[in-house]
Amino acid sequence: MFKLFFKIIFLCIIAGIVFIALSIYSGGEKFRWFGKKVEQESEKVGEKADKIKQGSDKVIKGIEQTTEKVKEITGSKDSKKDEKSR
């Protein structure tokens, strides 16, 4: 069990050293590149989320219109008033 902990701690130390060495050697250029890629992808995700939001708004409007039509056809304009009168 202690061997596993030792190996995990050792890998963390090695990863930290590699991280520091890369940032000193390249001046953080590789990390900036990664940050730019993440920013570009997040913009794409944001655009798709906006499209989904617009689509869901259309669906909600359609459901409301359908509900109103059904109430007109069945003669039940306000279901809350109908429930109270019963």
Q: Rounded CA gap, 20 and 52, in Å?
A: 41
Please name the residue ranges forming H helices in the chain.
Answer: 2-26, 29-74, 79-85
In a domain, 10, yes or no: no
In a domain, 38, yes or no: yes
pTM for this model (two decimals):
0.44
- Tally of domains in the chain: 1
* Structural domain for 75, as ranges: 22-85
Residue 77 is given by DSSP the state: S
How large is the angle between the packed helices 2-26 and 29-74, nearest 10 degrees?
A: 110
Q: Across the chain, how many H-helices and E-strands are there?
A: 3, 0
Q: What is the pLDDT of residues 25-84, one digit of tens each?
A: 877 777 788 889 989 999 999 999 989 988 888 899 999 999 998 888 888 766 555 455
